Amino acid sequence: MISMTPTALASRRPELRERILETVDLLNRRLASKIASDDIDDYVALHWLEWNGGGLRLTTTGENVCNQMRSSLGGP
């Protein structure tokens, strides 16, 4: 894993925000292998996902981002 500078990570934030719901769907369907490893690293660096017993799960921050994205899409 190559650490990104805070500026580089910040530049990816909008792209990752747009894909967080798709990423969570893949995790829920146990298809994490379809998520790019760089994306996983960045989600973890942003504290949106965390490792838990060999698996990934949403953090509270990640849940909030998902809720914001659902609201912006007009979903529940």
The domains of the chain are located at 6-72
In sequence order, the β-bridge partners of residue 52 are 55
Single out the residue of 64, 76, 72, 63 nearest to residue 27, CA to CA.
63
pTM of the model: 0.86
Instruction: Using pLDDT thresholds of 50, 70 and 90, give the confidence band for residue 75.
Output: low
Q: In this predicted model, what pLDDT tens digit does every residue of 10-49 receive, in sequence order? A: 899 999 999 999 999 999 999 999 999 999 999 999 999 9
- In 1-76, which residue ranges form alpha helices assigned H by DSSP? 6-28, 37-45, 60-72
Q: In this predicted model, what pLDDT tens digit does every residue of 50-66 receive, in sequence order? A: 999 999 999 999 999 99
Instruction: Using pLDDT thresholds of 50, 70 and 90, give the confidence band for residue 76.
Output: low
Dig out the tokens for 15 from the structure: 């792209």
- Within 10 angstroms of residue 2's Cβ, the number of other Cβ atoms is 6
Instruction: Using pLDDT thresholds of 50, 70 and 90, give the confidence band for residue 7.
Output: confident
